[in-house]
Amino acid sequence: VADAKHVIICNYDLKPGYAGVENPLYHKKEGVSLLLGDAKDTLQALCNELNANEAQTAPTGAEKIAETPVEEAGEWLHDAKEVIIVPGYGMALAQAQKLVKQLADQLEQQGKEVKFAIHPVAGRMPGHMNVLLCEADVPYEQLYEMDAINDGFKACDAVLVIGANDVVNPAANTAEGTPIYGMPVLSVDQAKHVIICNYDLKPGYAGVENPLYHKPGVSLLLGDAQVTLQSLLTRV
């Protein structure tokens, strides 16, 4: 990396790495920018700076700048009339249920209908998602069991998946011999747009690749759900 024109280093401090060897990159006078501190805070500040610069240099005429996943997802939610939110174990790990509630409230204030689709085995115990959403004061009448909402995905404008994988994996219908084959799943792939907030692209607990990740009309917002949802909430 020392040969690159510019190097941006996001490290907690300037101490040597595991090997204990001083890094001369830290003292290079030209072409190196040091952003020290917690990586989450540093990257958030960097994202804010990029967004501010983008706003100041908005494209005109035939110019066009590709949308980021958050911008794309924000546009989809802005244009949607009906939004279905699918919570999963990742939401529980990130303790993001209150942010999910805030986002749902914001969408409702904009005149959109918001529903929650609850898969019976989402999470690590029956009723796990119901308990978490109840703690966040999501009204019970907004919670729909799989059988009651599955036919509604076809007419839904946007689906927001929060930390769920196996329970929305359409491979359950086709991947014979896998642990999830034949398992009923939420038919989110039938929606017009799907926004997936997952920590990464690794398979879920069952270890089965999810073809949703490569489908057109799907926006992937990767990382900790707390950070992702806050960015999406700001965009909305």
Report the catalytic residues. Answer: 166
> Helices 225-235 and 97-109, interaxial angle, to 10°?
10
Q: CA angle 108-111-113, nearest 5°?
A: 60
Please provide residue 27's backbone torsions phi and psi, each rounded to the nearest 5 degrees.
Answer: -110, 5
And the tokens for 106?
């914001």
